Amino acid sequence: MRGIPSFDLSIDSELSNIVSPGEIAVVVSLSLLRYISRASTISLTRQQSKAGQMIEKQIEFKEVERRLGEYAPFFQLNLLSLPASAEKIVEAFCVAAGCIVPAIRIKRQIVITFGTSPFSLTNPPTTLSVNLQEPVINTTFGDFIFLDWQKMKTIAYQHIVASILEELVHSLMNVQDESVAMRIVASLYSGVKVSANSTYELV
């Protein structure tokens, strides 16, 4: 589901003296996302457990990459948090990738961030927070896709695949129109069809 998430950008006190609010708005752009995502000193915020609670085992980057197989080079993966209980999200992502990658000619790598909203990316002295407001589940900004595994866990598996595939269509095929993207999803993935009221129905 598409929507406009909110951004929160914090800059340390030294920079705030030389950067105006208007300039800050310009900084919050895809170029900043690319810089933060690809910076060698990136710090990705993980979900932390409370004292005394067990920390759920996390799915490792190499496992996701292994399951993607030949499609792995097309995606840069950021795993902010991805517990073992979200395994079906990984499976759904691999299915979605398998639907779209063979069908189009991909000329660039896109960045996939798994986590829960708000997503927080930190590269000192800057922290970028992306908050997906209800009813948004996932969202796309150009080459950057944010996938909220916690929200997706509550919906049917076929809908998970379709929601991820829709974001891949928006990014890789540069499709802005929601109804067009949904029809493409239904043509690529046999698990859903588009209903008369423009929602996904299980097949």
pLDDT, one tens digit per residue, over 69-78 is: 999 999 999 9
Q: Is it the case that residue 157 has pLDDT exceeding 90?
A: yes
Q: What is the pTM of this model?
A: 0.77
Q: Specify the length of the chain in residues.
A: 203
Q: What is the DSSP string of 118-166?
A: SEEEEETTEEEEEE--TT--EEEETTEEEEEHHHHTTS-HHHHHHHHHH
> Which range among 14-18, 19-23, 37-41, 132-136 shows the weakest confidence by mean pLDDT?
37-41
Report the pLDDT value the prediction gives residue 18, as an integer from 0 to 100.
42
Mean pLDDT of 108-128: 89
**50: pLDDT confidence band, cut at 50, 70 and 90?**
very low
Which residue's entry shows tokens 């909203």? Answer: 117
Q: Is it the case that residue 126 has pLDDT exceeding 90?
A: no
Average pLDDT score over the chain: 81
Bridge partners, residue 1, by sequence: none
User: How far apart, in whole angstroms, are the C-alpha atoms of residue 173 and residue 34?
Assistant: 19
Report the pLDDT value the prediction gives residue 123, as an integer from 0 to 100.
79
**Structure tokens belonging to residue 40:** 């060698």
Tens of pLDDT, residue by residue over 177-193, are 999 999 999 999 999 99
CA distances from 190 to 87, 161, 167, 183, 185 (A): 21, 10, 17, 11, 9
Q: Which residue has the higher pLDDT, 104 or 3?
A: 104
Is 69 within 8 Å of 93 (Cβ atoms)?
Answer: no
Mean pLDDT of 31-45: 42
Tens of pLDDT, residue by residue over 158-170, are 999 999 999 999 9
CB atoms < 10 A from the CB of 131, how many?
13
